[in-house]
Amino acid sequence: MVNRIFKKAYLYLVFIFLYAPIAVLVIYSFNDSKSRGHWGGFSLKWYAELFKDREIAQAVYNTVLIAIISSVAATIAGTAAAIGIQNMKKIKKAIILNLSYLPVLNPDIVTGVSLMILFIFMKTYTGVGLGFITMLLAHITFNIPYVILSVLPKLKQLDRNLYEAALDLGAKPGYALRRIIIPEIMPGIVTGFLLAFTLSIDDFVISFFTTGSGVSNLSIHIYSRARRGINPKINAVSTIMFMLVLILLIIVNLRISKDENNNHKKNNNHRNSSLRKQILKNIN
């Protein structure tokens, strides 16, 4: 009994430690006073001021645009890569999978500095300096492995005979891919897209090293303003950002839970069907 109470108390303390700062930030985003230590009453004026700020509006525009484009590009590239990896032989597949894991395990600062050096080196040949394009390419780069890891489990669950049966029935490879493979792995593709979108919106370190002057996303803009002092508008925009990411994570988790439940039902139905066939066979 004492052990159980201690475990629950420890768990609650961990959650309080993690989420108390976020709760304070959200509460003070509705504070009428500009002071961080004085509650002046409930107010939405900082949210109203937020939407009048052109710099924040531009940062939000850059953030959303980069998140959408990079997520779509990473989803297409990651899905194609996952299909290719799944059809590889065992040794090649293991090597490519380990290479795919590296960007996920690699510290963001190492990835950011590496991409920055690469883009500066490429500037001599392309003439493209650090800015919107380089930040977009960086986001696509670090999002692709997450899409691959989201799509691969669905490909492993897929019956390979479906594709071969479609080809035997006269379907062309492209048609079979669009009508057979893609619909079957669509939950993994959607999950990968949402995960990529969330990571892109939330990224700071890689964006900071791969952007140029005059181009910033929301994370960089909040960081630059926070260095001059915490403005209540930062609390408001951080609250909106937190709620957006939270909603996306809830959607991702709901989709994963739904897919697991569907797979569980399919497995149960398959077991029940096999059991019925075995019973009928034994009776006959």
Q: Are 83 and 155 in contact (CB under 8 A)?
A: yes
pLDDT at 274: 53
pLDDT per residue as tens digits for the range 69-84: 999 999 999 999 998 8
31 and 117 housed in the same domain: no
7 and 128 housed in the same domain: no
Angle between helices 182-202 and 232-283 (to 10 degrees): 160
Report the SS3 class of residue 47: helix
33 and 163 housed in the same domain: no
Instruction: Say if residue 126 is exposed, middle or buried (CB neighbours under 10 Å; 0-12, 13-18, 19+).
Output: exposed
145 and 186 housed in the same domain: yes
CA distance linking residue 123 with residue 153, whole number of Å: 38
219 and 185 housed in the same domain: yes
34 and 57 housed in the same domain: no
Residue 40 burial (CB count, 10 A): 10
41 token code pair: 């009453």
pLDDT at 279: 41
- Whether 38 shows a pLDDT value over 80: the answer reads no
24 and 141 housed in the same domain: no
CA distance linking residue 244 with residue 198, whole number of Å: 9
Report the SS3 class of residue 177: helix
- Whether 272 shows a pLDDT value over 60: the answer reads no
pTM tops 0.75, yes or no: yes
Distance of CA 282 to the CA centre of its chain: 51
Q: Give me the number of domains the chain comprises.
A: 2
20 and 139 housed in the same domain: no
Angle between helices 2-28 and 232-283 (to 10 degrees): 130
110 and 224 housed in the same domain: yes
pLDDT at 283: 45
- In the chain, the N- to C-terminal Cα span, in Å, equals 56
Confidence of residue 275 (pLDDT cuts 50, 70, 90): very low
pLDDT per residue as tens digits for the range 134-159: 999 999 999 999 999 889 888 888 77
Tell me whether residue 48 is in a domain.
no
CA distance linking residue 16 with residue 126, whole number of Å: 50
Contacts within 8 Å (CB) and 24+ apart, 205-208: 205/108, 205/109, 205/111, 205/112, 206/108, 206/111, 206/112, 206/115, 206/138, 206/139, 206/142, 207/112, 207/135, 207/138, 207/139, 208/112
120 and 214 housed in the same domain: yes
134 and 206 housed in the same domain: yes
Domain that holds residue 9: 1-43
pLDDT per residue as tens digits for the range 175-187: 788 888 888 888 8
Tell me whether residue 276 is in a domain.
no
CA distance linking residue 172 with residue 155, whole number of Å: 20
Q: Average pLDDT, whole number, for the chain?
A: 81
